[in-house]
Amino acid sequence: MSLVQPITPHLWYDKEAREAADFYCSLFPNSGVTSVTTLSGTPSGDCDVVSFVLAGHPFMAISAGPHFKFNPSISFMLHFDPRVDAHARENLDAAWGKLVEGGKALMDIGEYPFSQRYGWVQDRYGLSWQLILAKPEGEPRPFIMPSLLFTGEAAGKAEQAAEYWRSVFDGSQAGALARYPEGSSPDKPGTVMYSDFALDDDWFVAMDSAHAHGFAFNEAISFLITCRDQAEIDRYWQALSHVPQAEQCGWCKDKFGVAWQITSSLVEEVMQSGDRARIDRLTAAFLKMKKIDVAALEQAVRAD
């Protein structure tokens, strides 16, 4: 059974969620902000929640205070494929120019052994992107793919994580896999130099790096799973929540350190309704929860 909607990347900002969403939507066709909802009475005060679409892929962002900072452990890989875009290289360079303005290059744009055109950039808001010109002989991939870099304590666990997540999500499949060869120190031979895989038809990238990067997965980027009912919530929660102190408002953290949000389709329905009273009652209810309780949310929404 497929999820209600694709696994949705969720971005945490201090105050810039709407501004950042507008900027990202200006970069790509088939993009736009779909809704802005303000949550009141949260520990961070009033928080804007922004839903938007980038090149047809759903995203969410929240302005909720300076609690988490982006780092390159999770980035977004952009595939510019000449097979579907005759101006792929030119569009890659144009996107790079806009993303690097006010930001910084992590790997300079140029030719690499794995691609004729590639660059890794951290934009003006701290979010990281990898832009790559797809090889004509490679298997097609979606334009946007979240990319997870397993480093620090998580180094060497990319393959294990991908296998585990594929066991959790229906409709999953393995994709490409390239391992580090001998002589790749500090990376151990056999660990993952590059891999990709689909979770419920949503494609992800995973790589290991044993270099001393000094960053790790955190809640600045999480992945939102929207469930039909309590049974689905319970199933994903049991599989993905492994850090009790991280459990709050449907948020959890798995055994690899990646943050997830496991929520109900009712939340999205109410948030999109524009009904201020219902939104406030829903917010007050889920702020008290760890795992989402659908029946309690329904009762809160129905209250007079």
d(C-alpha 24, C-alpha 52), whole Å: 9
Strands 115-122 and 128-133: antiparallel
The pLDDT score that the predictor gives to residue 228 is 94
For the domain that residue 262 is a member of, what is the CATH number? 3.10.180.10
CB distance 64 to 44 below 8 Å: yes
SS3 percent helix, strand, coil of the chain, rounded to 5, is 25, 35, 40
The two three-digit tokens of residue 15, written as one number: 């105050």
Each residue of 224-270: pLDDT tens digit? 999 999 999 999 999 999 999 999 999 999 999 999 999 999 988 88
Residue 183: what pLDDT? 93
Place of tokens 């809160």: 300
Residue 3 lies in a domain: no
In this predicted model, what pLDDT tens digit does every residue of 128-180 receive, in sequence order?
999 999 988 888 999 999 999 999 999 999 999 999 999 999 989 999 999 99
* Residue 147 and residue 192 share a domain: yes
d(CA 187, CA 279): 48
Residue percentage of the chain with pLDDT more than 70? 99
User: Residue 1: pLDDT band by 50, 70, 90 thresholds?
Assistant: low
Residue 181 sits in the same domain as residue 80: yes
Q: 209 to each of 53, 159, 223, how far by Cα in Å?
A: 30, 12, 22
- pLDDT tens digit string along 271-285? 888 888 888 899 989
Q: What is the pLDDT of residue 246?
A: 92
Degrees to nearest 5, angle at CA 163 with 160 and 164 = 85
Of 180, 208, 236, the position where a domain reaches its end is 208
Strands 8-13 and 57-63: parallel
Domain check: are 121 and 167 in the same one?
yes
Asked whether the bond before 186 is cis by omega within 30 degrees of 0, the reply is yes
In a domain, 43, yes or no: yes
Residue 160 maps to which CATH number? 3.30.720.110
- Specify the length of the chain in residues: 304
Residues near 161 by Cβ (< 8 Å), separated by ≥ 6?
148, 150, 154, 206, 256, 258
Mean pLDDT for the chain overall = 94
Same domain, 38 and 145: no
In a domain, 80, yes or no: yes
| Domain assignment of residue 244, yes or no | yes
For residue 160, being part of any structural domain is answered with: yes
Structural domain for 148, as ranges:
74-208
Q: Indicate whether 238 and 288 sit together in one domain.
A: yes
Average pLDDT over residues 83-89: 94
pLDDT at position 196 is 97
In a domain, 110, yes or no: yes
For residue 216, pLDDT over 80 is answered with yes
The confidence score (pLDDT) of residue 271 equals 85
Q: Evaluate whether 74 touches 146 at the Cβ level (below 8 Å).
A: yes
For residues 56 and 85, membership in a common domain is answered with: no
Cα–Cα distance, 195 to 155 (Å, whole number):
14
Residue with tokens 């002989």: 137
Residue 90 lies in a domain: yes
User: Considering its fold, how many domains does the chain have in total?
Assistant: 2
Domain boundary among 208, 239, 263: 208
**Token pair in block for residue 87:** 């101006």
Sheet containing 202-208: order of strands: 104-112, 115-122, 128-133, 74-80, 144-150, 202-208, 192-199, 173-179
**Domain boundary pick from 208, 231, 266:** 208
Cα distance between residue 295 and residue 11, in whole Å: 28
For residues 202 and 82, state if they share a domain. Answer: yes
Pairing relationship of beta strands 259-264 and 221-227 according to DSSP bridges: parallel
| Residue 194 scores a pLDDT above 90 | yes
Structure tokens belonging to residue 51: 């839903």
Global pTM value: 0.96
Q: How many CA atoms lie within 13 A of 191 on its CB side?
A: 22
CA atoms within 13 A of residue 257's CA, in its CB half-sphere: 17
93, 62: one domain? no
Q: Are residues 132 and 56 in the same domain?
A: no
